[in-house]
Amino acid sequence: MMKIMGKTRAQPHMMNNLLKIEQAIRSGNYPNATDLAELIEKSAKTASRYIDVLRDDYHAPIEFDFHKNGYYYTDKNFFIQNVMLKEGELLTISAILPLLEQYKNTPLEENFRSIMEKITDMLPNSVSVDSSLINNEIHFISDPLTKLQDGVFDAVLKATKLHKTMEFEYKTAQNKDYEYREYDPYHIICQKGSWYVIGYSYHAKEIRLYAMPRIRNAKVTEKIFKVPADFKLENHIDPNFGIWNSSVPNFKVEILIDPIMKTYVMEREWHKGQIIKENEDGSVYLSFETNQLDQTAHWILQFGGTAKVINPPELVDEIKVITKRILSRYE
């Protein structure tokens, strides 16, 4: 068995009685053992034992006032931090911890761990759980994580929450040199291990998406901005095939996938608006709408020779260009 905390575990009925007594004392009515016994429908001797448990296990500052003939707290702000968690809920907590891996290199990782520790600290008693249930049998394989310069995520998060203009240096994927930017951050996005911020660029005079790993020397100014009332995140990002939503109109993608990939393809949701069905020969028809030509082409290529694009023609052409470029490297 595995212990989560260090005190003797209270049974549910005992915990309920402790809470009733704790609340009665905290009320300031100076209840005595007889009063508490009537409250929990037990003997005065049992009520006194509960008082001892509160003092010893919960460090309750309980004293007895002989003039008022009852118990009281010397610290009026004291209360039992009661978090009653079932075994299944504790197992869920243990399963969540590996998910923190995706927040590496950001303050969120440390904050989430701190929250989990506080939840554990609030448990009023030890919780015994079969150790075979809490181990490392759950593992999450995340996408490659991007590295951020120290302080960048803090600054972007603060500026986004407080609606304050930022100043930083930025390097595009094509350029070697960093350039000064003044920027109003509207929203933070994480896609496949990469962190982005979308907002208004004073340099470009329009809404731009910036990759956080390419930001350095980020500072939060005292200049306040307002997010435009007509700003809608969904108009600027495509969460399915590429973080930046281009201005090109959507086109319909139709793909035919070989029977050998049927189970793999049909058990997944590839796009929120997808249409997927199995043909009589076991092949799979998949269609959806997007405006991400390049990203969609690269996604289709992950299926190798088991997928064939039916439509649109420009997607077929893009795949041909990419495959020719790949082949040229091996000639």
pLDDT of residue 318: 94
Q: Using the predicted structure, report yes or no on whether residue 129 has a pLDDT greater than 50.
A: no
pLDDT of residue 132: 46
Write out the two tokens for 330: 């091996």
Instruction: Determine the average pLDDT of the residues in 233-259.
Output: 80
pLDDT of residue 9: 45
Lowest mean pLDDT among 16-20, 63-67, 109-113, 185-189: 109-113
pLDDT of residue 123: 54
pLDDT band of 131, cuts 50, 70, 90: very low
Structural domain boundaries of the chain? 1-142, 152-235, 251-328
CA-CA distance, 308 to 151, in Å (whole number)? 46
What's the pLDDT tens digit per position in 285-316? 999 998 888 889 999 999 988 999 999 999 99
Q: 152-235 and 251-328: same fold?
A: no
Write out the two tokens for 329: 């490297």
What's the pLDDT tens digit per position in 164-190? 999 999 998 778 889 999 999 999 988
CATH topology classification for 152-235: SH3 type barrels. (2.30.30)
User: CA dihedral defined by 142, 146, 149, 153, rounded to 10 degrees?
Assistant: -60
pLDDT of residue 242: 62
Instruction: Determine the average pLDDT of the residues in 243-264.
Output: 86
Residue type, 207: I
Select from 197, 229, 225 the least CA-distant residue to 210: 197
| β-strand pairing of 206-211 with 194-201 | antiparallel
Four-way CATH pick for 251-328: 1.10.530, 3.30.70, 3.40.50, 1.20.120: 3.30.70
Q: Using the predicted structure, report yes or no on whether residue 67 has a pLDDT greater than 70.
A: yes
What's the pLDDT tens digit per position in 210-244? 999 999 999 999 999 999 999 988 888 776 766 66
Q: Within 10 A of 168 (CB to CB), how many other CB atoms are there? A: 24
Instruction: Determine the average pLDDT of the residues in 241-259.
Output: 81
pLDDT of residue 82: 53
> pTM for the complete prediction?
0.57
* Terminal Cα distance for the chain, rounded: 61
